[in-house]
Amino acid sequence: MDRSIVSDSPRRMTSALRVAIICPTFGGYGGLEAFVLTLMAGLPPTPELEVRLFFKQTVQFELRPELTRAVAPLGPRGQFVKRGSGPLWAAIGWAQVVHGQNPSPDVVYLSKLRRRSLLINVINHRQAGQTWRQRCWDFALRRADRRFYISNFVRRTWEGEKRWPDSHVVFPICELAGDPQPPAARRGFVFAARWIANKGIDTLVEAYAQARLDPHTWPLRLIGDGPLRPEIERMIATRGLRGIEVLGFLSQEAKADAIRTARWMVVPPHTNEDFGLTAVEARHLRVPCVITRDGGVPEAAGEEALSCAPGDVAGLAACLRTAAAMSEAEYSERSRRTYETLLPQLAGPGFYATVYRELAGR
């Protein structure tokens, strides 16, 4: 994270700075929702700073119980609004600083009409092509006063190789568990993602079969759920694959426990992944990663990761065998470095509070 983008000279404020975080949502609880809710949890209301979260409903919006539960503790600080609506206009009018997630044209244009300072977190890579919709998003992104990208991979898809002024790469805030296990207490591999096409779970299961590792010493635990689950479970059963445990959807606490007791986190997508949040979660628990060189995943996983090309079953199997054959001394060193190199890249809520004050001229 580039910490030169905020200053260290706070100024005395005479009234609360009002910030509206605006986040598009389909109604479920995913990585983007987790980011803004974690940010809100670290920015409690104070006399100096008042922050409200507005979930902007997409066309396919369908509110899921897990998001309802997650928003409930915010009370009136967390609201749902429709895109391009009067309540969205009022939310932007209330704020002095608008913090948008992705360059949604309605949020950008309303913010500029009301002359509000605008920070945009860009979470998703730019889609190819020059459609009218994409041109609107391109134009909207340039109107931001400051742009934070989830990864340099995402930034390059929007800006090209030359960085625009006031653009920076900032890792997303997420809920990170502590209390790692010592290396000797860890065992096997863990995977955590939604079970959908291109997340690489089918590639991983095939690679694990090809690696032919001891299933007791090197088990593979699969976390998550999704449309591919019946197909994957049939593959495991039909081929009689031993050592694979399907855990399904887990709470954040149970997921953290599964990661901290693994020796390696496996992140094998082949879909131009924007970042790779599970890699950061693992590194914070000192668990190094086996990855594919897909999109922003290498940035999230760090230099200590073992890697192969996206979709390469044989290459991934080779990485699993390399991980299993690694000496205790080398593994312990990788475990230490994967954590220590992560720390300077993490931004906390206090970082964003300082950015908000700078954007408001305070």
- Beta partners for residue 85, in sequence order: none
Q: Which long-range contacts (CB under 8 A, 24 or more apart) does 164-167 make?
A: none
Confidence (pLDDT) at 10: 41
The Cα–Cα gap between 348 and 171 comes to 10
Mean pLDDT per 10-residue interval, the chain, length 362 residues: 43 75 93 91 89 95 93 96 95 97 95 97 92 94 97 97 95 87 97 94 97 97 95 96 95 94 97 94 97 98 98 98 98 98 90 95 85
Cβ neighbours of residue 40 under 8 Å, at least 6 residues apart? Answer: 21, 51, 53, 74, 77, 78
Check for a shared fold between 3-173+347-359 and 183-344.
yes
CATH code: domain 3-173+347-359 is 3.40.50.2000
Confidence (pLDDT) at 44: 80
Cα 44 off chain centre by: 22
Q: Which long-range contacts (CB under 8 A, 24 or more apart) does 153-162 make?
A: 153/125, 153/274, 153/295, 153/296, 153/299, 154/122, 154/123, 154/124, 154/125, 154/126, 154/274, 154/275, 154/295, 154/296, 155/122, 157/125, 157/126, 158/122, 158/125, 158/126
Cβ neighbours of residue 226 under 8 Å, at least 6 residues apart? Answer: 194, 195, 196
Confidence (pLDDT) at 14: 56
With beta carbons less than 8 A apart as the criterion, state whether 54 and 81 touch: yes
Confidence (pLDDT) at 7: 39
3-class DSSP state of 13:
coil
User: What is the value of pTM for the model shown?
Assistant: 0.89
Confidence (pLDDT) at 273: 94
Cα 24 off chain centre by: 15
The Cα–Cα gap between 58 and 84 comes to 11
Nearest to 3 by CA among 360, 350, 359: 350
Express each pLDDT in 305-357 by its tens digit: 999 999 999 999 999 999 999 999 999 999 999 999 999 999 888 899 999 99
CATH class of the 183-344 domain in this structure: alpha beta
Q: How many CA atoms lie within 13 A of 203 on its CB side?
A: 27
With beta carbons less than 8 A apart as the criterion, state whether 192 and 259 touch: yes
First to last CA, the chain: 22
The Cα–Cα gap between 32 and 123 comes to 8
Average pLDDT, the chain: 93
Phi/psi of residue 114, nearest 5 degrees: -95, 5
Number of DSSP helices (H) and strands (E) in the chain, helices first: 14, 13
Residue that the structure tokens 């959807």 belong to: 249
Nearest to 283 by CA among 191, 178, 188: 178
The domains of the chain are located at 3-173+347-359, 183-344
Express each pLDDT in 79-123 by its tens digit: 999 999 999 999 999 999 999 999 999 999 999 999 999 999 999
